[in-house]
Amino acid sequence: MRRLIADNLRFEHLEDAPVPLHVIVTDVLTGDDVCLSTGSALDAVLASAAIPAVFPPVHIDGRDYVDGGVVNNTPISHAVSLGADTVWVLSTGYACALTEPPRGALGMALHALTLTVNQRLAIDVKRYEPTVELRVVPPLCPIRTSPSDFSRGSDLIDCAHTTTRDWLTSRHPTTGQAALLEPHHHQ
């Protein structure tokens, strides 16, 4: 993972990014979500990608960090505290139309995590709507695919691209023009 990120990162420090870049990570010991705005871009991005139980924590300035999504997957609060007056949210959604519970411990754990993430997003949207202009792109629904099932990934990406483009064009005609680009497929 380190080599993949290093090979593709175009700047060394967060403060050198072409646009202001703030990376949200979770402090392993305190459980706090932390906003990294300076320092090694490689370490910050690696920590942000450090999914617990999949990748090890990343040690930065005497602290160990993992993926910020553990406690704040959609960090609207950080965007607001950094002065944003318009916040775009690309929600990951959740399996909102399962006909039976996910199978196995991993499937159930991932499903529970997506439910928690979406509950937090709903609370934050309600909290920050009066403060900033929130543009929350609607997630796909109904989704009948478990978060641990990647077999329909390409179909879901295509569907998300289409529905997001249509939403952007209908709600934000000027901004929506950028959505007319074809989606990038990752194998």
Residues in the chain: 187
The pLDDT assigned to 187 comes to: 34
pLDDT at 185: 42
Q: Give the model confidence (pLDDT) of 148-157 as tens digits.
A: 677 888 888 8
Distance CA 6, CA 11 (A): 9
pTM comes to 0.76
Confidence (pLDDT) at 4: 93
- Give every residue of the chain whose pLDDT is below 50, as ranges: 176-177, 179-187
pLDDT computed for residue 176 by the predictor:
47
